Chain A
């Protein structure tokens, strides 16, 4: 059984007016087969948590640990973390002009697997995954994320999730900016990933809407850089009716 374990994580960034602590002691354990929803108001540090696990250079871990099956993640480089089985679907995917989606996907797949994918099956796999996510075939030849609409970017992140097939996926507000149809298509993609078994999901969201399609096993309320309350799916229903105010006042 694989486990992603976060212990007492403190993270700060260099801001204009000096160092600013954003995460203030996060504890979280995600086992494979589990889906954890992290819900919290804007600015509470959800993306910071996601980026810190992925190893973004802007975020400095000042205290605590992150481990994958007992192996220290924080000492790994960004690409090593990905090859170890971590995947981050970003809230704002980055544009890389001149690099085609198909070139990028094949390069990433080769990097993750350590060997180039078999051309015969790969082309079909990509095509099928794109069809399932209602991504037009012409996307393969477009520049990575360049000129994609918000929804197209998010679908393209889930396309990578399905093709790269990590062990743990962190989805940072994958639902934001999606219309109902796109939300359903994206959720189905995430559910296909979960159905493979032995996969862990950390679903970061601001709204409860996506939880109608993806049922979490655990819900964590994230406020002011740490987890303020934890529970089962019913906690999401309470947030739906009560909002975050109760927590923000307490925090």
Chain B
């Protein structure tokens, strides 16, 4: 489902091209399981794998263990307790289970999970930064990271991926009641990396969670993000940005399960595509269960297609099992540059190249500034600038922060 049309990418609230499939039960109810036997090796015909270039995964979905690891560097305030758990102990924490074959493989062959534990009633003054680096695209690495934040605590956690690997990973995030967590996952891989990831977030009662995915590097990146609520009143904001170059496949699949009353969710994902064979996929599944009265949800995906030969697939799905909700909506738009924006900028003497650079910069900066964490914002703005410099042209003047 590729749509390319003149769309001003700034109109989030206008569902210009919406492909809502309401009451489709088939793939909105994944049955989570740790048991690999519950997931056949995908052929590419399955609903959840149909966009993924299975051939480029080179046997990554086979049940084959590996001894390779990513290099770890951890930067964490003293209050944070970091430990290693066995696979069994990680399961015993009772968090959400894997939802597909790659996440089941990640846990099974992880050799145990790295637990980042933020105790209750703790406010971290510094972010927790986990730097994960791979050395070669020949190495297959399975990994499981567990982030647990106790009730009433506040923390920022950043996972940063660089270098190269074939990385199959599970990230489990357990957020205590009334806690507040900002979680950023930065995919800044080299061009030949493959990353099959699952991020499973459980939002505590009245907790506030903001996640941010930035997928800029890698050959194939497939991030599955699932979220549910452990009690009423939780708020979840999910943001994502991706910049897809020639030959890159970048896929984000969301499943937000409103399984508790008065919970909220808001998702805003934006991508830019350029170069032959650049392919982005965004699937946003939202389920509002019968008991989830008084909830509010909105999801939006916008793609800016910068050159010919790109494909942006965007599929929002909303399934509503109760009429007692405050609001539910979605928008999806894929388009080229807005002529009026380019004209306005050029009418001030700005060259066409610089005008385009400014528009794309703005498209992402508008999202990045919502993170509210200065260090991450700067990091991402720099990364976006680097992509723009590579592909559109260098800025005429320094860019404002």
Residues of A within 8 A of B (CB): 54-58, 77-79, 81-83, 87-88, 90, 93-100, 102-104, 106-108, 110-112, 116, 143-144, 146, 160, 164
Contacts and interface: CB of A to CB of B under 8 A. Distances in A.
Interface stretch (B222-230, B323-331, B348-356): B348-356
Interface stretch (B54-62, B116-124, B337-345): B337-345
A164 B349 contact: yes
Given A56-B343, A103-B400, A107-B396, A98 B350 contact: no
B10 interface: yes
Contacts of B397: 106-107, 110, 116
B365 interface: yes
Contacts of B352: 77, 79
Given A98-B363, A110-B397, A78 B340 contact: no
B354 A111 contact: yes
29 contacts: A57-B343, A77-B352, A79-B351, A82-B346, A82-B349, A87-B347, A88-B347, A90-B344, A90-B347, A93-B344, A94-B344, A95-B10, A96-B344, A96-B345, A97-B362, A98-B366, A102-B400, A103-B399, A106-B397, A106-B400, A107-B358, A107-B396, A108-B349, A110-B397, A112-B348, A143-B362, A144-B362, A146-B10, A164-B348
Contacts, number: 99
B19 interface: no
B365 A99 contact: yes
Contacts of B396: 107, 110-111, 116
A82 B363 CA distance: 25
A87 to B, nearest CB: 8
A160 B348 contact: yes
Contacts of A164: 348-349
Contacts of A77: 346, 352
B361 A111 contact: no
B362 A96 contact: yes
B282 interface: no
Interface of B: 10, 339-341, 343-352, 354-355, 358-359, 361-367, 369, 396-397, 399-400
Contacts of A83: 349
A107 B347 contact: no
Contacts of A82: 346-350
A97 B10 contact: yes
A89 B271 CA distance: 32
Nearest to A141: B400
Contacts of A160: 348
A195 to B, nearest CB: 23
A143 B400 CA distance: 12
A56 B349 CA distance: 13
B343 to A, nearest CB: 6
A81 B400 CA distance: 27
Contacts of B366: 97-98, 143
